[in-house]
């Protein structure tokens, strides 16, 4: 047997390809029954769940049907189909690795904490829930009343004067 003969797909493959190209559903079903379990095992090596592996196998079969006219017979039909499967599974596995399932971002049972310590937004020396003069409320409102006078424009408005420690 020469190298060219060894590289050529088996005669049965060529007949099967001709039957598939002619639209023979029974030939396709025989091929699916023969390769499906192996394809599922291979796909499972590249993706995280069996459900995704089943989707990958289905996508690979669609790719096989669409590319059947491009099969040149330089390898066996099985090798060609498995190469389509592996390419499809690798692509899906890479895509899965880049995405995070929405359900994993939040859990109703998880203890939720603020992303940033709320004390970070309080004036220096002030603890959460207490004003500088020690009164509850955390807004700096003590016995002397609110720090701003009625009619004061407030920060960011024309006429407001920033405290000396704050840049204008």
Indicate whether 122 belongs to any domain: no
pLDDT tens digits for range 146-161: 555 555 555 556 666 6
- Residue 24: partners with Cβ closer than 8 Å, 6 or more residues away: none
Our count of domains for the chain comes to: 1
Indicate whether 9 belongs to any domain: yes
Indicate whether 92 belongs to any domain: yes
Indicate whether 37 belongs to any domain: yes
pLDDT tens digits for range 100-119: 767 666 666 666 677 788 77
In CATH, what number is assigned to the domain containing residue 49? Answer: 1.10.1740.10
Residue 38: give the domain boundaries: 3-99
More confidently predicted of 158 and 24: 24
Please give the radius of gyration of the chain, using alpha carbons only, rounded to the nearest integer. 34
pTM of the model: 0.55
Indicate whether 64 belongs to any domain: yes
């Amino acid at each position: 047997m020469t190298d060219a003969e060894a590289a050529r797909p088996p005669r049965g493959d060529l007949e099967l390809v001709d039957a598939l190209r002619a639209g023979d559903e029974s030939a396709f079903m025989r091929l699916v029954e023969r390769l499906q379990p192996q394809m599922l095992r291979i796909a499972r090596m590249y993706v995280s769940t069996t459900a995704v592996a089943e989707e990958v196998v289905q996508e690979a079969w669609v790719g096989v049907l669409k590319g059947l006219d491009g099969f040149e017979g330089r390898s066996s039909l099985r090798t060609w189909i498995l190469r389509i499967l592996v390419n499809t599974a690798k692509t899906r596995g890479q895509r899965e690795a880049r995405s995070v399932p929405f359900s994993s971002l939040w859990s109703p049972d998880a203890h939720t904490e603020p992303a940033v310590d709320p004390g970070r937004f309080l004036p220096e020396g002030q603890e959460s829930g207490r004003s500088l003069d020690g009164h509850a409320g955390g807004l700096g409102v003590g016995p002397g009343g609110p720090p701003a006078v009625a009619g004061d424009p407030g920060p960011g408005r024309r006429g407001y004067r920033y405290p000396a420690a704050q840049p204008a």
